[in-house]
């Protein structure tokens, strides 16, 4: 129980990377890196009392550096998801960004937070161990205005919840929309696809997007579509149906308009009959991207020498809606100078009854 620190490796630039292991009284473990504030390991008990590592990752810093298109476990910033045309206008000024996803900007650009060295600002080694990773992002970093001080705190609670708390402040008006990009597989990261695992999402609608995954502004009801997860469905049940939204996303890669926005609430769940594990997701943000690993290439050697196949992990990326800056009807990820952005995401684990 508590916190253990160890050397994990070095970046290609010679920076020393450390791993921080949180462990609670139940034996649940979460390991994070100060490189990318990455969630590398998450061990939770299954129905037989064994502990399964349920997130994708790599055994070396080089693995994360070489495979920068997967974002395994990464903290994403300054703005998660896509910004159309790789630019935006704020108070009449146009800010160009990296076009790293076709002609659009994805997850902040080429120099995203996932490849930055974070500083450990604070650790709490007690019954609820936690570690806070901080990062200074200078004015015009990635093309975004304002000197930004950002931190993410990972906390492991006694009831087997991993809580992620984000806080950020800029000295100029700017966009702030961080998220976490962990790929979950409740049968263990090494167990193959997640197609037999079941998802539930508390959302009556999703943002319709074009073939480049850019929202059109239309909110579409999930009723009568394969996008409807208001009750549990296996991921593989409808993922390959003849459906325009699924065709555009190559499977599920869509932002859900979660119900009851503006407060902390349960927004989704994932469960596996094989392992008996239930994961419930809570957030205070208006959206969540469900992504089923459709673009995992199947040639990446992950932890323990495992080759992760396509659709071997599922992401629950809590967020403001994609491209919200171009849709004033969406809740905006825009914060005034010296205004603090805060958000919280929780992943709670239990055994199915």
Active-site residue set: 181, 317
Omega of the bond leading into 78 within 30 degrees of 0 (cis): yes
Q: Which of 181, 157, 156, 154 is nearest to 167 (CA)?
A: 154
Are 265 and 283 spatial neighbours (Cβ–Cβ below 8 Å)? yes
CA–CA gap between residue 166 and residue 133 (Å, rounded): 10
Structure tokens at 97: 């960004």
Helix (H) or strand (E) holding 344: strand 340-351
**SS3 of residue 272 by DSSP:** coil
Distances (CA, A) of 69 to 30, 64, 204, 307, 310: 23, 9, 30, 16, 14
Helix (H) or strand (E) holding 287: strand 287-291
């Amino acid at each position: 129980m508590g916190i253990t620190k160890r050397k994990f490796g070095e970046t290609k630039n010679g920076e020393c990377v450390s791993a921080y292991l949180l462990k609670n009284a139940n034996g649940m473990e979460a390991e994070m890196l100060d490189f990318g504030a990455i969630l590398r390991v998450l061990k939770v008990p299954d129905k037989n009392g064994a502990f399964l590592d349920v997130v994708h990752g790599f055994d070396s810093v080089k693995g994360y550096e070489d495979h920068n298109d997967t974002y395994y476990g990464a903290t994403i910033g300054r703005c998660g998801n896509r910004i159309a045309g790789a630019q935006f206008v704020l108070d009449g000024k146009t800010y160009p960004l990296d076009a790293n996803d076709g002609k659009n900007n994805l997850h902040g650009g080429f120099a995203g937070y996932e490849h930055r060295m974070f500083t450990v600002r604070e650790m709490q080694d007690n019954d609820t161990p936690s570690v806070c990773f901080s990062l200074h992002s200078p004015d015009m970093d990635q093309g975004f205005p304002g000197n930004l001080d950002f931190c993410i705190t990972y906390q492991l609670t006694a009831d087997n919840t991993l809580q992620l708390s984000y806080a950020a402040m800029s000295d100029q008006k700017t966009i702030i929309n961080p998220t976490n990009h962990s790929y979950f597989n409740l049968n263990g990261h090494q167990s193959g696809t997640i197609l037999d695992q079941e998802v539930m999402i508390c959302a009556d609608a999703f943002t319709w997007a074009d073939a480049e995954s850019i929202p059109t502004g239309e909110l579409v009801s999930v009723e009568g579509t394969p996008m409807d997860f208001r009750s549990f469905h296996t991921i593989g049940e409808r993922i390959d149906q003849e459906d325009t939204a699924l065709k555009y996303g190559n499977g599920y890669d869509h932002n859900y308009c979660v119900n009851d926005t503006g407060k902390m609430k349960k927004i989704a769940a994932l469960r596996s009959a094989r392992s008996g594990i239930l994961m419930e997701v809570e957030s205070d943000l208006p959206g969540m991207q469900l992504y089923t690993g459709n673009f995992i290439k199947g040639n990446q050697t992950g932890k323990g020498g495992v080759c992760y196949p396509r659709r071997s992990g599922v992401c629950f990326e809590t967020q403001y809606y994609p491209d919200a800056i171009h849709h004033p009807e969406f809740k905006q990820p825009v914060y005034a100078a010296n205004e603090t952005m805060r958000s919280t995401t929780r992943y709670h684990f239990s055994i199915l009854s």
